[in-house]
Amino acid sequence: MSGDFSLWVYLAKTPLLWLTVTLTAYVLADRIAAASGRHPIANPVLITVTLVGSVLALTGTPYPVYFEGAQFVHFLLGPATVVLAMPLYERRATVMRALVPMLTALAAGAVTTLAVVIALARLLDIPQPVLVSLAPKSVTSGVAMGIAEALGGDPTLTAILVILTGIIGAVLVTPMMNALKIDDMRARGFAAGLAAHGIGTARAFQVSEVAGTFAGIAMGLNAFLTAILAPLALHLLF
């Protein structure tokens, strides 16, 4: 018992405490998700956010203090995104056969997302900095934050919106696809990656490796296209 206490005292004085809390929360969340049979509502990211947020609230820990440790996980977002190229390479023949439908869906999805965001922002009279932060919400966080910062938005707000979008998309994608009777895993995965970026892609891999592969493709292509379209759309608007 004294050894456990000594470990806690040591961790409490270093950024490793919050890295440990984050990883522990995710392991617990993943076990809960597995116990539920990977039910869409039992999303590991949603559960982890809830657990870590509760710990921060109960301990009165400011976010900057937490991020000193959590930044190590944040750093791994880049390598994790690059690793998605492996299933893409392994299934390149399948991808090439669906290239034209994918590009069509990509263009429709990216344009529709921007159009809906801008239309709602104008309808609700949302301030320009908030709109700029909202525009890249369906893109993976690293790219979305870069777009928002370059255009004068708030990267922190963008990160929050990206995570919310990903969680909502990951929770809804399976029931929605089932309701629409869409059985093609390529289409299901591509839709998840296009609308819900990395979190949607993780959910797609839980369902099927084919779905995960196409989700990763959609996530990467949408990041590239939105980085071009968002500045153009906002420039024309303002």
pLDDT at 52: 92
Tokens at residue 111, please? 């344009």
Return the domain boundaries, the chain.
Answer: 1-75, 82-238
Q: What is the tens place of the pLDDT at every residue in 192-206? A: 988 888 888 888 888
Q: What pLDDT is attached to residue 201?
A: 86
What is the per-residue pLDDT for 29? 92
Q: Tell me: the pLDDT tens digits for 98-116? A: 888 888 988 898 888 888 8
How far is C-alpha 115 from the chain's CA centre? 20
Both tokens assigned to 92: 């390149």
pLDDT tens digit sequence for 121-153 = 878 888 888 888 888 888 877 778 888 888 888
Whole-number Å distance between alpha carbons of 216 and 1: 45
**Cβ–Cβ < 8 Å for 192, 80:** no
Q: Average the pLDDT over 148-177 and give the result.
A: 86
Cα 134 → chain centroid: 14
Q: What is the mean pLDDT of residues 147-165?
A: 85
State both tokens at 120: 């709602």
C-alpha 110/C-alpha 228 separation (Å) is 10
CB proximity list for 207: less than 8 A, separation 6 or greater: 38, 174, 185, 188, 189
Give the best-scoring range by mean pLDDT among 71-75, 117-121, 187-191: 187-191
Spatial separation of the C-alpha atoms in residues 235 and 90, rounded to whole Å? 40
